[in-house]
Amino acid sequence: MGIFRDIGAPGLIVLILGALLIFGPKRLPELGESIGKMIREFKKSVSGIESESDETKNIEDKKEDK
């Protein structure tokens, strides 16, 4: 999240106000919820890929030991 490190508090306030003006107060919570779901699904898929690669390495190591 290197890009957000450079924004700072004033920039974050401007982003929030801009989003509020664009999407409106009724739609903003729905937007936040959908972004949260998207990030959770992305993290699940990334961790799933990592666990699959770990399992594959373990299986290959067992085959090499034999």
Q: Are 42 and 33 in contact (CB under 8 A)?
A: no
pTM above 0.85, yes or no: no
Q: How far is CA 39 from CA 2, 33, 44, 45, 60, in A?
A: 17, 10, 9, 10, 32
DSSP state of 1: -
| Residue 7 DSSP SS3 | coil
pLDDT of 8: 81
Summarised one tens digit per residue, pLDDT across range 2-44 is 566 677 888 888 988 998 899 888 898 898 899 999 999 998 8
Q: How far is CA 42 from CA 8, 33, 48, 49, 50, in A?
A: 26, 14, 10, 11, 12
What residue spans define the domains of the chain? 23-53
